[in-house]
Structure 1
Amino acid sequence: MNELAGKKLLLGITGGIAAYKSVELVRLLRKSAAEVQVVLSGAASQFVTPMTLQAVSGRPVRQELFDPAHEAAMGHIELARWADLVLIAPASASFLARLAHGFADNLLSTLCLATAAPIALAPAMNQQMWQNPATRYNVSLLEQRGIELWGPDSGDQACGEVGPGRMLEPAALMERVADRFRQGPLAGVRVLLTAGPTREPLDPVRFIGNRSSGKMGFALANAFVQAGAQVELVAGPVALETPSGVRRVDVETAAEMEQAVMDRVADCDIFVGCAAVADYRPDVVADQKIKKSQDRMEIRLVRNADILASVAGLPEAPFTVGFAAETQDPEGYAEKKRVAKRVDMIAANLVGAEQGGFERDENALTLLWDGGRERLPMADKSRLAKQLVSLIAGHYEKRDSA
């Protein structure tokens, strides 16, 4: 099956030596029966000619925002509506910055703001530019908005340096494009997911937290995207890259996570509570650092809201999946939580032991639902996430079609 046949791909090319690879990318896309419209930035034509790209794409190359031949039809809007996918390859550091901050002063940046189609960027730049804090900040903004970043790769660069910043090869980008159009079991399904720990402040310096790394939740977010879902991730404080295609919201406390979830849950079909949310928070948070002046100190704790139970208890609740991280009898405690909170499925896992769980790359889960269970043995969290998403998809489909 050819996923790209008849698909409309808008390929933006910005200024950079990697632009020469875009000619081969156009050729591969056209070979797969996709329609390709090339749009060049002002600097891109210094590296690759419009004539070459027109020859391989079979379409006139677009360059100017104010083009008399197209402005009668509002050319940038016309292009924005035409595309099934917008891919910028290469995407320079300058273009990342322009898109992150909403500039619309050339054709390529304007149509990116005007399109409802998904946008993917294939970064290409010097390794130091890629690692610069300004670029990292721009990347985080783009990822939070659901823009996908494909790459960069790492290796030898045209400038003679070695490191991250190489544009992915045309064949790899071609595969990413094909993946984008493959229909997974959750195509079009909206997933809201929580991941990572929460931190409950004691004073401006200290907090109560837990050992969750967020790896399982982030692996699940990626697996849901691969299954075709539209994924929004509410993440506690973790040092993890946002999976491609995931819209991310960062929070710190349990109250902030609850607010972020409840603001979004009405727009989701599946909710997965994978975060390790603090059950309690300090009743009083000190304005200044607490000094070491006593041999003993008592901290009064108050209970946080139960996000999972709140979601499952909604009048029109999404398909709800919870996690139960336990240090003993995980299945027994998980089943009690499943029944008490009225969730559709719950994943039980043992933590605080050699078997896996927090701060590890492997885990094992037991999935429980009304009248059934399935054991997922120890595996890398990425592999485990794919198995779990497959199970969730099957049960969601049964409930949705009931």
Structure 2
Amino acid sequence: MLKGQNIVLGVCGSIAAYKSALLVRLLVKAQANVQIIMTPDAVNFITPLTLSVLSKNPVLVDSFDSKSGVWTNHVELGLWADALIIAPISANSLAKISNGLCDNLLTAVYLSARCPVYFAPAMDLDMWAHPSTQTNVKQLLSYGNKLIAPANGELASGLEGEGRMAEPEEIVQYLSNTLLETNAPLSGKKVLITAGPTYEAIDPVRFIGNHSSGKMGFALAEVFQKLGAKVTLISGPTSLSTPNCVSRINITSAAEMLQACSENFEEADILIMSAAVADYRPKEVAADKIKKDEDSLILDLEKTTDILKTLGAKKRENQIIVGFALETTNELANAEAKLKRKNLDLIILNSLKDEGAGFAGDQNKITTIDSSGNKQTFDLKSKVEVAKDIAQEVLSLLSKKQ
């Protein structure tokens, strides 16, 4: 996302200015065009020469160079930039820009910028916690600027607490993600995805479950996040790591998944139910571990609530609901019936009969069916590639609803 982007990096007077060197390298490595502006105090912490070599551009400090007689046009810089990042920003510069003070080149460019502005504070913990600093931060946020919050740790003063500038890698990742949200096809959309199995307790140590790994749902969460969506992932028990910038809610049982889905469904633009939710659960859960006293054990089971059908009945006109159907017989007929019965826009059919596809593997083979009866069968692919195919189907449906 940063390739070819014009980035103005503002560097203020702070010991954290040494991190700016690594930040510049990362931005250049990402193929961004980097123009650095330093405040007069910043040159006491890191030399303009260092940052100039790393950025491959002259570093700007003053609006007017008395030796060359050249004036730096702050308006042009503000218009040139696709993003302005001030990292580190000191308490002094934070106060200046939040109140519209303009006494150096960086503050002048800030006031001229029409692009997104990001600020990464660096200061001692008491300065950061001071009410005046917090008021200035709120003021900047109210203007639409984006805060890259300081971290907690050892500070230059020797104290421990909040005030460390975010690490350069975190800043670049945050910048990439937010620019992606701005330019991506699902920017501003909220996507709710379920993944993994549910475990239905028999007693304190045993449960009824299934072989779902959650890999398909996690792949979907990753792909939809990269398309700019704000993704909430509701996951049953799994050892998988949460994809970057995805909000995760962990659940165990079908009842917990129903509650989590119900709480988040109303705000969702798109719901994708890829979880393998248990259809039945024990009617009664033993308070103590069941002993192996008998040769057989009879469990009285009851149906769990059909989450997809429940939410399908509440679907708004502009919402999209995607369901999954894992079938072993009469695959197409059963999937089409499920699509209609549960008021879905799209159903993803996969079969345990397809070699290489299934629960625990890294591949899947799907057929998609939409509410108009259109069908498309895909080859066996990695689950990430399958997720991309599903995303394209959803984008097509979304364009028809808008």
TM-score, with structure 2 as normaliser: 0.68
Larger mean Cα displacement after TM superposition, 5-14 or 189-198: 5-14
Correspondences of 1:222-237 after superposition (within 5 Å) = 222-237=222-237
Q: CA deviation at 1:24?
A: 2.9
- Classify the secondary structure of the residue corresponding to 2:183: coil
Equivalent position amino acid for 2:385 in 1: R
Decide whether the 8 Å contact of 1:11 with 1:88 is kept in 2: no
Determine the C-alpha separation between the residues in 1 that align with 2:29 and 2:361.
Answer: 40
Correspondences of 1:199-278 after superposition (within 5 Å) = 199-278=199-278
Q: Which residue of 1 aligns with 2:91?
A: 64
Determine the C-alpha separation between the residues in 1 that align with 2:206 and 2:377.
Answer: 38
- Classify the secondary structure of the residue corresponding to 1:240: coil
Correspondences of 1:344-355 after superposition (within 5 Å) = 344-351=345-352, 354-355=355-356
Q: CA deviation at 1:29?
A: 8.7
Percent identity, please: 31
The C-alpha deviation readout for 1:330-361, integer Å capped at 9, x for no partner, is 32211111111121110000137633120000
- Classify the secondary structure of the residue corresponding to 1:218: helix
Q: CA deviation at 1:380?
A: 0.5
Decide whether the 8 Å contact of 2:38 with 2:59 is kept in 1: no
Q: Which residue of 2 aligns with 1:283?
A: 283
Determine the C-alpha separation between the residues in 2 that align with 1:46 and 1:379.
Answer: 55
Equivalent position amino acid for 2:91 in 1: E
The C-alpha deviation readout for 1:169-228, integer Å capped at 9, x for no partner, is 99x869946862562332222111111111111111111111100100110111111222
Determine the C-alpha separation between the residues in 2 that align with 1:113 and 1:205.
Answer: 53
Determine the C-alpha separation between the residues in 2 that align with 1:373 and 1:36.
Answer: 55
- Classify the secondary structure of the residue corresponding to 1:225: helix
Q: Which residue of 1 aligns with 2:129?
A: 105
The C-alpha deviation readout for 1:49-103, integer Å capped at 9, x for no partner, is 79967984769852237976567579xxxx9xx99475879x9xxx9xx9xxxx9
Q: Which has the greater radius of gyration?
A: 2
What is the count of residue pairs matched by the alignment? 341
When the two chains are superposed, the root-mean-square deviation of aligned CA atoms in Å is 4.9
Larger mean Cα displacement after TM superposition, 326-335 or 244-253: 326-335
Q: Which residue of 1 aligns with 2:294?
A: 294
- Classify the secondary structure of the residue corresponding to 2:378: strand
Determine the C-alpha separation between the residues in 2 that align with 1:30 and 1:57.
Answer: 20
Correspondences of 1:1-400 after superposition (within 5 Å) = 20-25=21-26, 32=33, 56=59, 62-64=89-91, 69=96, 84=116, 86=118, 105=129, 111=137, 115=141, 176=176, 180=180, 183-314=183-314, 316=316, 318-351=319-352, 354-369=355-370, 370-398=372-400, 400=401
Q: Which residue of 1 aligns with 2:83?
A: none
Equivalent position amino acid for 2:365 in 1: A
Equivalent position amino acid for 2:309 in 1: A
Equivalent position amino acid for 2:219 in 1: A
The C-alpha deviation readout for 1:284-327, integer Å capped at 9, x for no partner, is 11111111111111111111111111111115262111001123
- Classify the secondary structure of the residue corresponding to 2:366: strand
TM-score, with structure 1 as normaliser: 0.68
- Can you give the 5+ residue segments of structure 1 that lack an aligned partner in the other structure? 39-43, 126-148, 153-166
Question: Is the alpha carbon distance of 1:374 and 1:202 closer, same or farther for their aligned partners in structure 2, counting shifts above 3 Å?
Answer: same
- Classify the secondary structure of the residue corresponding to 2:365: strand
- Can you give the 5+ residue segments of structure 2 that lack an aligned partner in the other structure? 53-57, 63-85, 102-109, 154-165
Determine the C-alpha separation between the residues in 1 that align with 2:392 and 2:252.
Answer: 30
Determine the C-alpha separation between the residues in 1 that align with 2:96 and 2:139.
Answer: 22
Larger mean Cα displacement after TM superposition, 326-335 or 383-392: 326-335
Q: Which residue of 2 aligns with 1:130?
A: none
Determine the C-alpha separation between the residues in 2 that align with 1:113 and 1:197.
Answer: 45
